[in-house]
């Protein structure tokens, strides 16, 4: 009987945690990086101390939201990488999947990757450091991509090392280019995907130097 009661309590706690995360998602979609613990508690119909009881602080809530969204993004990236198409098309689809995800939910992306100036006081008080939490997300994506590259491409005797370098390098490029693009929107998503794929496909090496210039 005690075991059954304990299991019921755990299920109820997990269900309540999901409800709170869904309330937090709604606030993040509305407020982006400015989402505060007060606003999230109000959205959930509870007091802030109860929110702290579930997540500890804003950093704990951030980690839970980051895991929720990272899993969804990684699932999409895995599907793109496993598509039964040519290699270049798979690369384009993977880049497009990432960019489409941050474009569809820019406020969520900004909340995960950029602290809000207006909430800096709250962040400092709670020990919240966005870089400390966002960096592991990018590293995880890099490791996932490295594993896919190592499994699918023959990279020779230094294959594992090269796959990890390429995996993290591609994720860094994708993140930096996507961040710039989301802020300025200078070109279409399709054009950005095409240009990034050209870079990965060795277009830089194939281009000649400009006349009169120092070259690369």
**Burial level of 2, CB count in 10 A (0-12/13-18/19+)?**
exposed
Q: What is the CB neighbour count within 10 angstroms for residue 12? A: 10
pTM of the entire structure? 0.79
Query: What is the per-residue DSSP string for 43-56?
Result: HHTS-HHHHHHHHS
Q: Where are the beta strands (DSSP E) in the chain?
A: none
CA distance 210 to 58: 51
Give the model's pLDDT for residue 186: 96
Pick the CATH number of 2-202 from 1.10.1060.10, 3.40.50.300, 1.10.357.10, 1.10.10.10: 1.10.357.10
Give the model's pLDDT for residue 108: 87
Q: b/e per residue, 172-192, with b = 16+ CB within 10 A?
A: eebbebbeebbeeeeeebeeb
Give the model's pLDDT for residue 119: 47
Give the model's pLDDT for residue 148: 84
Give the model's pLDDT for residue 209: 64
Query: Any idea of the CA torsion for 185, 137, 73, 184, to the nearest 10 degrees?
Result: 0
Let me know: does 162 contact 192? Beta carbons within 8 Å: no
Which residues contact residue 142 at a Cβ distance below 8 angstroms, ignoring those fewer than 6 apart? Answer: 164, 167, 168, 170, 171, 172
* Mean pLDDT in consecutive groups of 10 residues from the start of the chain, 216 residues: 76 88 91 88 92 85 83 86 87 94 90 62 46 73 87 85 93 95 96 95 70 61
Give the model's pLDDT for residue 167: 92
Give the model's pLDDT for residue 195: 96
Q: What is the CB neighbour count within 10 angstroms for residue 81? A: 18
């Amino acid at each position: 009987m005690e075991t059954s009661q304990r299991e019921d309590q755990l299920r109820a706690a997990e269900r309540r945690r999901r409800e709170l995360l869904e309330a937090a998602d709604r606030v993040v979609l509305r407020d982006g990086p400015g989402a505060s613990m007060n606003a999230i508690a109000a959205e959930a119909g509870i007091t802030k101390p109860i929110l702290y009881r579930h997540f500890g602080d804003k950093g704990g809530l951030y980690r839970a939201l980051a895991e929720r969204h990272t899993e969804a993004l990684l699932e999409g990236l895995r599907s793109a990488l496993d598509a039964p198409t040519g290699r270049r098309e798979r690369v384009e689809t993977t880049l497009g999947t990432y960019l489409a995800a941050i474009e569809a939910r820019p406020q969520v992306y900004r909340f995960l990757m950029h602290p809000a100036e207006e909430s800096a006081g709250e962040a400092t008080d709670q020990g919240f450091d966005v870089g400390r939490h966002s960096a592991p997300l990018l590293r995880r994506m890099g490791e996932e991509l490295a594993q896919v590259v190592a499994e699918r491409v023959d990279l020779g005797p230094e294959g594992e090392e090269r796959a990890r370098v390429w995996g993290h390098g591609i994720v860094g490029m994708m993140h930096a280019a996507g961040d710039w693009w989301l802020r300025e929107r200078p070109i279409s998503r399709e054009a950005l995907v095409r240009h990034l794929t050209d870079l990965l496909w060795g277009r830089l090496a194939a281009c000649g130097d400009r006349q009169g210039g120092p070259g690369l």
